[in-house]
Structure 1
Amino acid sequence: MEMFDLLAQRARVTPDRPALEDLDSGECYDYRQLNEHASRLAAAAREHWGLQEGDRLAYLGHSRAEFFAMLFGCAKAGLILVPLNWRLAEPELEVLLDDCDPRALIFGGEFAEVAASLGNRWVTMTLVALDGAAAGQRDYHLDLAASTPDFRPHAEKSPDTPWYLLYTSGTTGRPKGVIQTFRMMLANHLNIGLAVNLTSDDVLLNVLPLFHTAGINLYSSAVLLVGGCVLVSRSFDPNQALQVLQGRATIFFGVPAVYQALLDHPEFDGERLKRVRSWGCGGAPLSLPVAKRYADAGIRIRTGMGMTETGPTVFLLDEALVLDKIGSVGRPQLLTEVRIVDRNGNDVADGEPGELLIRGPNVTPGYWNRPDATAEAIREDGWLHSGDVARCDEDGCYYIVDRWKDMYISGGENVYPAEVEQVLEQHPAIAEVAVVGMPDERWGEVGKAYFGLKSDFPAPEEDELRAFCRARLAGYKVPKAFQVLAALPRNALGKVIKQELRDDAARN
């Protein structure tokens, strides 16, 4: 199998069908126009920005329709796109640029000052402005207009040729650039597209950032490959999202924080959202109370699980099992193998927890410039060690128990914080909670729970919370300490940054 021009092929099949709409600018593309835009970008990169095959092209900006032209344009030119996390501080961005060494940086007007500052350090990096160029910078739209698009098929490439890099959040250390390939995108397209029955009639509302795999691949890339339409929102706005979900979208994928915000909106009405035929959730566990409230409104949210390293789809819960298997991420999808092993690498019995291993064409070939990290993560016979603790029930449905690194040992017993969090989420005053282990002279480690309050609820006493937990958990699982926070620290996908909480617990 050779890598071919997916967008050009789609434009030949359905040239006039709508492909993209930018909900903020109003700009629209059909597949012929999107293919031309991507082809012009490939030409501009060579003719005006000085890039050659294998070079990195970075992007710093909010989600916008042009991003997908950049993505497929890089495939045409043999370039590697590097979407940068715009939420990072400038020193954090410098770490990423040091690692990937891009020859050019495309940036949105909202990041003009940061881009100019970065350009002063990386003097060989061409700055390309999307929203008006300053002196010494290239103008994105003028350069594309002055370029001659090449619509001929590009040279054949291995399906494992690096296409784009996605950097891990770095919440546990130095960020790593996860190599994304044509093979991974095609495998994800089959894994998720078949599971949710994507067709060319589907319309996706994409509210997730495009520097993460969920923003690109759940389900945008899969929708584009099948000939559907993607509505791109610059950022998540509950008002805008509800209007689009009520009037235009047929499929939706969000993270738990997005689902919570929609649920809290005064105009949320499950009856008015029946146009959406498929709801998906990932990135972090969807709490049981939220899942049940949606189910009561007639909406079945299919939870799943994946990683940047897996393209991302690994698991998805069958819609028929949503109410019976709340908390499960479902079964492995078509092009994915999984195992659950103990610390010695032996397969565990059904129902027993262990580390989740993943193998298949959806797994990354490795990390950019990090052979050490690649060798640590992808070991014998191509199995990726996920770092997640999972278990499988008698029906073949999988549950993510916790992160391997989040587990702590109290008095010789393994404690999985996610189990404790699920209990505390049932307390009427608690809106969100995260539990971490902290040092203890007697037990080795004990739990500390950080939580946020629901509006109009006073903070419960620690003794009350301990009693609440003790009635539902073994004694060694009950947190020793509790602390109220205005908000839990989270990354761009809504995942709690537990390392910050562990550091705080160790200090206090």
Structure 2
Amino acid sequence: MEMFDLLAHRARVSSDRPALEDLESGEHYNYAQFNERAARLAAAARDHWGLEEGDRLAYLGHSRAEFFAMLFGCAKAGLILVPLNWRLAVPELEVLVEDCDPGALIFGAEFADAAAELQQRCGPLTLVALDGAADGQRDYHRDLADTRPDLTAHPDRDPDTPWYLLYTSGTTGRPKGVIQTFRMMLANYLNIGLAVNLSGDDVLLNVLPLFHTAGINLYSSAVFMVGGSVLVARAFDPDQALQVLEKRATIFFGVPAVYQALLDHPGFSGERLKGVRSWGCGGAPLSLPVAQRYVDAGIRVRTGMGMTETGPTVFLLDEDKVIDKIGSVGRPQLLTEVRIVDRDGRDVPPGDAGELLIRGPNITPGYWNRPDATAEAIRADGWLHSGDVARCDEDGQYFIVDRWKDMYISGGENVYPAEVEKVLEQHPAIAEVAVVGMPDDKWGEVGKAYYGVHADRDAPDPEALRAFCRERLAGYKVPKAFERVDALPRNALGKVTKQELRDHAKQ
């Protein structure tokens, strides 16, 4: 299948149906207006910002409905959109900008200073202001108004043509721009859209950052495929989220930190949220206590697993398994093959742990300007080496044991920190915990646990935690060191950035 103009066709089929709404500004588009907005961006990029097919267009700003006009406008113009992580400092953003070399940068008012500094640091770069332009800058809305949009469908293209780039966090080295394509988006729709029965009547509340694959594809892009509606929040706010989930949304996807925040809100109740028919969670495991509280409220949160490199959907757990198979990411979805292999690339027996390999039309063609990294990750016969340690149980349900890089070897034994963390999470005083390996003269490596404590609990001393672990774990798995922290370091999706902890543990 060629890359066709999805939005132009959707506008033809569903012109008057609501497509997008910005919950902060109130701006909203039906599909005809959405298509026109994207076409205007394509024209403005060509006529006012000097961009040609294949050029990159960067975006630095918070989540807003207009982002999707940029995304589909780039598809129309043959441009490559680069959403930048607004949490990064300017020197970190500079690395990304120099790597992708955009011709123009669209920015929100809150990042005007950062945009100006990037222009100074990175050389020729057209700055396009979303919220009022300064001297020497282009005005986004004025430029879009001053165009003659072509509302016809763009020419068909190779489905593996780069459409947008999503940069990895770079916590373990130089950030990599993961190429995203139309084929990946279509495969993701078939993997997740069919699994949750998306329809044109669905309304999604999107609270996740749009520089991440989950913000774009879980489930926004899939909702556009079926002609549903996406409500875009500038950021996650529990008050706003509960109101929208109660009154408007039918589907929702969040990360565990979001689900915990909703539970902690005094206005949370299952009765209030009965209009949401499908709940999804990813980014990290949902703990049994949290999953059980949702089940008690009549809500079954389905966990899954994917990667930026996989578009992202690979696995999804069935609703009737959310407690019985807690910790599982479910089964591989329709357009994905998986294997679990040992260090020599041989398939492991059922129940054994090994590295997860993934193959299918949802796999990225590679990393921007990084043939070395592409060759390392995607090897013979198109198998992507995920870097995740996984196992499959007797029922065909998959479990992500840990990250391959997070595993450490203590006295010749493999230790998976996630296993130790699950034990420590059972301690009544522990609010959050992360375990990493640190050097040890005797054993090579040993564990160090960083933990936070519930506000209404006294902090347990390290020896008490050590004894708690000894009752539940083999001796070599018990952390040697414990350190209390006010909060674990996390990225934009709430994942713990373990590299920071590993670096700290080495000091």
TM-score (structure 2 length as normaliser): 0.99
Counterpart residue number, 1:343? 343
Query: Deviation of residue 321 (structure 1)?
Result: 1.1
The whole-number CA distance in structure 2 between the counterparts of 1:266 and 1:455 is 17
Aligned residue number for residue 166 of structure 1: 166
Greater displacement, 83-92 / 293-302: 293-302
Q: Structure 1 CA distance, aligned partners of 2:439 and 2:126?
A: 49
Greater than 6 Å deviation, 4+ residue runs:
none
Q: Which residue pairs with 1:31 in the alignment?
A: 31
Residues 305-344 of structure 1: pairs in structure 2 closer than 5 A: 305-344=305-344
How far off its partner does 1:270 sit?
Answer: 1.6
SS in 2 for 1:340: strand
C-alpha offsets along residues 290-345 of structure 1, whole Å, 9 cap, x if unaligned? 11221222111100000000000000001111121110000000000000000000
The 8 Å contact of residues 340 and 356 in structure 2, kept in 1 or not, is answered as: yes
The 10-residue stretch of structure 1 (12-21 or 289-298) with the greater mean CA deviation from structure 2: 289-298
Cα distance between partner residues in 2 of 1:35 and 1:326: 42
Alpha-carbon displacement from aligned partner over 1:394-431 (angstroms, at most 9, x marks no partner): 11100000000100111111110000000101111111
- 1:102: which partner in 2? 102
Query: Partner letter of residue 81 of structure 1?
Result: L
Work out the CA distance in 2 between the residues paired with 1:490 and 1:323.
26
Match of 2:259 in 1: 259
Query: Aligned residue for 1:149?
Result: 149
Establish whether residue 225 from structure 1 lines up as the match of residue 218 from structure 2.
no
Gaps of 5+ in 1: none
Across the aligned residues of Structure 1 and Structure 2, the Cα RMSD in angstroms comes to 0.7
User: SS at 1:267's partner residue?
Assistant: coil
1:136 to partner: Cα distance: 0.4
Paired position in structure 2 for 1:124: 124
List aligned pairs for 1:59-458, cutoff 5 A: 59-458=59-458
SS of alignment partner, residue 8 of structure 2 = helix
Secondary structure of 2:133's counterpart equals coil
Shift of 1:120: 2.1
Aligned match of 2:501: 501
AA at the equivalent of 1:104: A
What corresponds to 1:481 in structure 2?
Answer: 481
Aligned equivalents of 2:143 and 2:461: distance in 1?
63
The aligned amino acid for 2:338 is V
Letter in 2 for 1:68: F
Per-residue CA deviation, residues 236-277 of structure 1 (Å, 9 max, x unaligned), is 101100111111110000011111111111111122111111
**Distance in 1 separating the partners of 2:212 and 2:248:** 24
Answer yes or no: is the 8 Å Cα contact 2:451–2:483 preserved in 1. Answer: yes
Matches of 2:121 and 2:489, distance apart in 1? 31
For 1:461, give the aligned amino acid. Answer: D
Aligned partner of 2:49 in structure 1 is 49
Cα distance in 1 for residues equivalent to 2:331 and 2:297: 25
SS in structure 2 of the partner of residue 329 of structure 1: strand
The CA distance in 2 between the partners of 1:499 and 1:93, in whole Å, is 19
Deviation at 1:278, TM superposition (A): 0.6
Over the matched positions of the two proteins, sequence identity in percent amounts to: 82
Question: Aligned to 1:195, what secondary structure does the other structure show?
Answer: coil
Q: Give the secondary structure class of the aligned counterpart of 1:67.
A: helix
Question: Offset of 1:83 from its aligned partner?
Answer: 0.2
C-alpha deviations, 1:343-376, integer Å up to 9, x for none? Answer: 0000000000000000000000000000000000
**CA contact 1:289–1:426 (8 Å) conserved in 2:** no
8 Å CA contact retained: 1:255, 1:284: yes
Letter in structure 1 aligned against 2:114: V
The 3-state SS of whatever aligns with 2:194 is helix
- Where structure 2 has 5 or more consecutive residues not aligned to the other structure, the ranges are none
Q: Measure, in 2, the Cα distance between the counterparts of 1:466 and 1:122.
A: 51
Query: Aligned residues, how many?
Result: 507
Alpha-carbon deviation of 1:461? 1.2
Shift in Å at residue 153 of structure 1? 2.2
- Which amino acid in structure 1 is aligned with residue 15 of structure 2? P
Cα deviation for residue 123 of structure 1 reads 3.8
**CA apart distance, 1:443:** 1.2
Q: Is the 8 A contact 2:336 2:358 kept in 1?
A: yes
Give the letter aligned to residue 245 of structure 2. Answer: L
Query: Deviation of residue 284 (structure 1)?
Result: 1.1
SS at match of 1:439: strand
Contact preservation (8 Å) 1:288, 1:422? no
1:475 deviates by 1.1
Q: Does 1:470 align with 2:473?
A: no
How big is the shift at 1:152? 2.2
Distance 1:297 1:427 in 2: 24
Contact 2:9–2:153 under 8 Å retained in 1: no
Q: Normalising by the residue count of structure 1, what TM-score does the alignment of the two structures yield?
A: 0.99
Quote the Cα distance in structure 1 between the aligned partners of 2:467 and 2:114.
50
Post-superposition shift, 1:58?
Answer: 0.2
Per the alignment, residue 13 of structure 1 pairs with 13
SS at match of 1:270: coil
Cα distance in 1 between the residues matched to 2:495 and 2:461:
27
Letter in 2 for 1:72: F
